[in-house]
């Protein structure tokens, strides 16, 4: 794997391979000594032009647990404020020795530009670009759903027969887009639930069902309900009902959680707006996988960095793990 830019073009075999390697990585994380020597001598640069908690520290933890060196670059406080371009910034980081660049950027397509422009030769991982994609978030979500459903028998399995309901601000959500492509590639059925103003205009081209009534969607007994953050910072006020109205109609609260049956899990990629799209009761309920998603993110990102940077040393993985 040269780069990981999206899930739209990720084939089923590669996606399953990432999830299966993440299973191996997850097993190593329960050991007393978590560190593996696999990427010793490699350098991973986290190149973040937008704020992040989970994704940045998770890539940092993943790289360090594989013994790579990590350089964290945040646009805030850097020479980007003096007008330095993405090209010059990336080339500067490569000159310092980057083997892989993990990019978060407000512009949709920025990681693709870095990967295909010829500016740098390092591998590129998309850590979230505009409203376009967030592929490692979708991979860790798929990993979490698979692990909850199949436990120790997860390896090699796809998500055929499972139903995932994604709720909220689909219009602005790169997490929703990446999940739609990945979950359906893996055989899951996806239902989107949102106010009509927060559904993308081209949604009829997506392999999903769209509903506007959350209670009806929850009554379908889905395997997972994935709540999305309301991205007020990307939003025109005309798109949005009042916060009170939104919570009443599309928020997940304790009453709605109590209507869930079977093993339905409650997911959220974070950061959460507690009290808006999800109540504290729902976020902290026994059905919630919010912190499991965070922990699984480290294993999934270890798998991605491994495939990007240790491909030529693949036969050593058995020994390393």
Binding site for ligand CP (CB under 6 A): 52-55, 128, 134, 137, 269-271
Q: Which of 158, 140, 185 is nearest to 295 (CA)?
A: 140
Tell the burial category of 67 from Cβ atoms under 10 Å away from its Cβ (0-12, 13-18, 19+): middle
Residue among 23 and 129 whose Cβ is closer to ligand CP: 129
Q: What is the smallest separation between the CB atom of 141 and ligand CP, expressed in angstroms? A: 10
Binding positions for carbamoyl phosphate: 54-55, 104, 134, 137, 270-271
Q: Give the CA count within 13 Å in the CB-facing half-sphere of 58.
A: 24
Three-point CA angle 110, 65, 130, nearest 5° = 15
Residue among 70 and 210 whose Cβ is closer to ligand CP: 70
Q: Tokens for 105?
A: 């950027």
Q: What is the smallest separation between the CB atom of 270 and ligand CP, expressed in angstroms? A: 5
Residue among 60 and 99 whose Cβ is closer to ligand CP: 60
CA–CA distance, 186 with 166 (Å, rounded to integer): 16
CA–CA distance, 163 with 153 (Å, rounded to integer): 19
Q: What is the smallest separation between the CB atom of 56 and ligand CP, expressed in angstroms? A: 6
Q: What is the smallest separation between the CB atom of 136 and ligand CP, expressed in angstroms? A: 9
Q: Which of 232, 89, 233 is nearest to 101 (CA)?
A: 89
Residue among 140 and 188 whose Cβ is closer to ligand CP: 140
CB atoms closer than 10 angstroms to residue 12: 12
Binding positions for L-aspartate: 82, 174, 229
Q: What is the smallest separation between the CB atom of 200 and ligand CP, expressed in angstroms? A: 19
* Cβ neighbours for 34, distance < 8 A, ≥ 6 positions apart: 28, 65
CA dihedral 233, 236, 242, 243 (to 10 degrees): -20
Binding positions: 54-55, 82, 104, 134, 137, 174, 229, 270-271
Residue among 53 and 259 whose Cβ is closer to ligand CP: 53
Q: Tokens for 98?
A: 């980057």
Residue among 241 and 270 whose Cβ is closer to ligand CP: 270
Q: What is the smallest separation between the CB atom of 245 and ligand CP, expressed in angstroms? A: 26
Q: What is the CA radius of gyration of the chain?
A: 19
């Amino acid at each position: 794997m040269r780069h990981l830019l999206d899930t739209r073009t990720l084939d089923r075999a590669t996606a399953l391979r990432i999830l299966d390697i993440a299973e191996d990585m997850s097993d190593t994380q329960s050991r007393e000594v978590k560190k593996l020597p696999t990427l010793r001598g490699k350098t991973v640069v986290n190149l973040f032009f937008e704020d992040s908690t989970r994704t940045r520290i998770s890539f940092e933890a993943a790289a360090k647990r594989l013994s790579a060196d990590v350089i964290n670059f945040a646009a805030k406080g850097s020479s980007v404020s003096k007008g330095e371009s993405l090209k010059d910034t990336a080339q500067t980081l490569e000159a310092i020795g980057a083997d892989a660049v993990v990019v978060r950027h407000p512009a949709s397509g920025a990681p693709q530009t870095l990967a295909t422009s010829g500016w740098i030769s390092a591998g590129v991982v998309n850590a979230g670009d505009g409203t376009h994609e967030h592929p490692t978030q979708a991979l860790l979500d798929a990993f979490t759903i698979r692990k909850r459903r199949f436990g120790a028998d997860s390896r090699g399995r796809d998500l055929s027969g499972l139903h995932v309901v994604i709720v909220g601000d689909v219009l602005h959500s790169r997490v929703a887009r990446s999940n739609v492509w990945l979950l359906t590639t893996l055989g899951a059925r996806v239902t989107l639930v949102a106010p009509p103003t927060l559904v993308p205009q081209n949604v009829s081209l997506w392999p999903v069902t769209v509903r506007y009534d959350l209670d009806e969607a929850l009554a379908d007994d889905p395997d997972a309900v994935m709540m999305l953050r309301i991205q007020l910072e990307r939003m025109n006020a005309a798109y949005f009902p009042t916060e009170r109205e939104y919570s009443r109609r599309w928020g997940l609260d304790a009453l709605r959680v109590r209507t869930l049956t079977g093993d339905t899990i409650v997911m959220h990629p974070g950061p959460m707006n507690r009290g808006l799209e999800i109540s504290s009761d729902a976020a902290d309920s026994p059905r919630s996988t919010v912190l499991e998603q965070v922990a699984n993110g480290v294993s999934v990102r270890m798998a991605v960095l491994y495939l990007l940077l240790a491909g030529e040393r693949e036969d050593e993985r058995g020994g390393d793990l």
